[in-house]
Structure 1
Amino acid sequence: MKHIKCKMLLLLSAILLVFSSGCSQFFDRSGYIQDMLDATYKGKFEEYARITDSTVGEIESDYNDFIQHETEVFLRYAGLSQDDVIPNDLLDQIAQAIKELYSQVRYTVNESDRDGNVTINIEPLDVYNGLYPEFLAFNQEFRQRNNNYEFQDYTDEEFTREYLSPLIQLLTEYAAAPTYREPVTVIVNVFLSDNGKYVISDESVTAIYNALIYYSIDNNSASTISGT
C-alpha cells in the first residue's frame, strides 16, 4: 500500500525558530531536527520548546494531537473509526500504548553540511506487520463467534469492548518488544525562507514520518490501513 500522508503531524510541519540571515551560521540545524523528533515521538518537550521559543504546554498539545491521530490510524487498522461507539477508557489505553511504542523509535541525527542538509539514519518501526499475524488469528476467531450469534444481545459499546480490548492487549504486548525493519536514510534540508524563518519542506515532513513508522502491510492478501 502507499504510505500514509499525515495531515495531523503538527510538530513536524511546524515553522522553525526565527533567525536573521546574518545569524544563520549559528543555527544548529541538526540540533533542531533532533529536538523536533524527540518532542514528536518521545514526548521530550523542553528543548524543543526552548529552541522554538514556545511553551512546553504548546508543544505537549501538539504531541497529544499527533498521538490522537495515530490512535485513529490504529482504529482503522482494527476496522473501526471514531464514528463507532468506542469507550473513552479504551481510547486512553490505545493512546498510552502508542506513546510507549513510539518512545522507542530509532533514529540518529547527523551534523548538517554546509548547505543545510541533515542526514537522519532510521530503523523503521514495523508496527503493523508485527501485529498482523495475531490480529488475523483473533479476527478469524471473533468472526466465527459473531457468526454463532454469541454477541446478539450486546449493546454497541459492549460489542466494541469485546472486540477491541484483546487488540489493545496485543498492541501493549508488542510495545514491550517492538520489531524494526532494515535501516534507511532520510536527508532533509533546513533552509532560511524568505520571511526569515528556518523551514523544512512538506516533502521532508512526509519522508521523515513515513520512514520512522512503517505503515505498509507486506502480505498482499492482508487488509491494509489507509492514511488521511
Structure 2
Amino acid sequence: MKKRGLLAVLLIAVMTLLCGCGGMSAEDAQSYAKSIMDASYKGEFDKYIEWTKSSEEEAKELYEGNIDATMQEAGFAGLGLSDELTESYRELFLNMIKQAKYEVGEAKDAGDKAYTIDISVEPFTAFEGLQDEVQAAVTAEMTSMTEVPDQNAINEMVFQKMYDLMAEKIASPTYGEATTVTITVKPDSDGVYYIDQTDMTALDDALFPSDNF
C-alpha cells in the first residue's frame, strides 16, 4: 500500500484555515492547535466547532468526506475490490488515524502575533514488517491454489490478507520513541489564524512514518 502523506494530511489541509479572525493569546493558540489535531486525527470536534463556529454535522461531513477522498487518492476504486472490503478499509483507516499519539505543549510568543508550539509525537510503528508478512501470507495462499484466479480475485485475496494483518496490528498498536515537532500558529494578511501545511505535513510524517508502511 502506498502512503499518500497519510490520511490525516487531507483532513488537516482543509481544517487549518477555518479559525476566526482576531488576535490570539498563547492559551488560545494552544487550544486552537489542539482542536485542529483532535478533529483531524481523533474525530473529536467540540473545540474545533467552538473555534470555527461550524456545526457538528459540518465538521463530521468534512472529516468523513476527506476519508473518502483519501480512499480515492489511494487508488482503491481501480482495484476491483468488493464493496464490503473497500468499506472495511475505510473503517480501518479511520481507526488507524485515531491511534495517533501526541501532546500539545504550551504556545510561545514568536513575534508578529504568531506563536510556536512544540508537539511531542510518538511514531506509530505497528506496521513495521507488514509487507513481508503480507507477501508470506499471499505466497502460502497461492501455493495451495489449483487454478490461477483472475486479477480482481487476486487483488481481493491480497488486500483481504493485508487488511486482516493491519486490523490485528491496529488493535495492539506499537510506538517508537517520542520526538518533538514545532509548529507555528500565525495570522495571514486578513488576520485569520492558521497552521502552515508544511508544519502539519511534518507532524503527520512524524506520527505515521512512511518507512513503517
What TM-score bracket applies, with the shorter chain setting the length? 0.7 to 0.9
Tell me if 1:150 matches 2:152.
no
- Residue 19 of structure 1, aligned match among 4, 18, 21: 21
Query: How many pairs were matched up?
Result: 206
List gaps (5 residues or longer) in structure 2. Answer: none
List gaps (5 residues or longer) in structure 1. Answer: 218-224
Classify 1:176/1:38 alpha carbon distance in 2 versus 1 (closer, same or farther; 3 Å).
same
Secondary structure of 2:119's partner?
strand
Classify 1:25/1:38 alpha carbon distance in 2 versus 1 (closer, same or farther; 3 Å).
closer
Matches of 1:201 and 1:15, distance apart in 2: 9
User: Does the CA contact (< 8 Å) of 2:7 and 2:97 recur in 1?
Assistant: no
Tell me if 1:101 matches 2:103.
no
Classify 1:183/1:27 alpha carbon distance in 2 versus 1 (closer, same or farther; 3 Å).
closer
Structure 1 residue 71: Cα displacement: 4.5
Matches of 2:26 and 2:159, distance apart in 1: 50
Residue identity in the other structure for 1:176: A
2:50 counterpart residue number: 50
Matches of 1:138 and 1:70, distance apart in 2: 26
Classify 1:196/1:5 alpha carbon distance in 2 versus 1 (closer, same or farther; 3 Å).
same
Secondary structure of 1:9's partner?
helix
More helix by share: 2
Secondary structure of 1:188's partner?
strand
Matches of 1:50 and 1:200, distance apart in 2: 17
Identity of matched residues, %: 23
Deviations 1:152-208 (A, max 9, x none): 3x5x55443333222211111111101112211100010111111001212112111
1:92 counterpart residue number: 87
Matches of 1:87 and 1:182, distance apart in 2: 38
Moved more, 25-34 or 62-71: 62-71
More strand by share: 2
Residue identity in the other structure for 1:138: A
User: Does the CA contact (< 8 Å) of 2:26 and 2:108 recur in 1?
Assistant: no
User: Does the CA contact (< 8 Å) of 1:9 and 1:66 recur in 2?
Assistant: no
Secondary structure of 1:167's partner?
helix
Classify 1:112/1:26 alpha carbon distance in 2 versus 1 (closer, same or farther; 3 Å).
closer
User: Does the CA contact (< 8 Å) of 2:76 and 2:86 recur in 1?
Assistant: no
1:178 counterpart residue number: 173
- Structure 1 length normalisation: TM-score? 0.77
Deviations 1:4-32 (A, max 9, x none): 54698343223041222xx3337611111
Residue identity in the other structure for 1:19: C
- Structure 2 length normalisation: TM-score? 0.82
1:169 counterpart residue number: 164
Structure 1 residue 98: Cα displacement: 2.2
Moved more, 9-18 or 31-40: 9-18
Residue identity in the other structure for 1:197: V
Matches of 1:86 and 1:106, distance apart in 2: 31
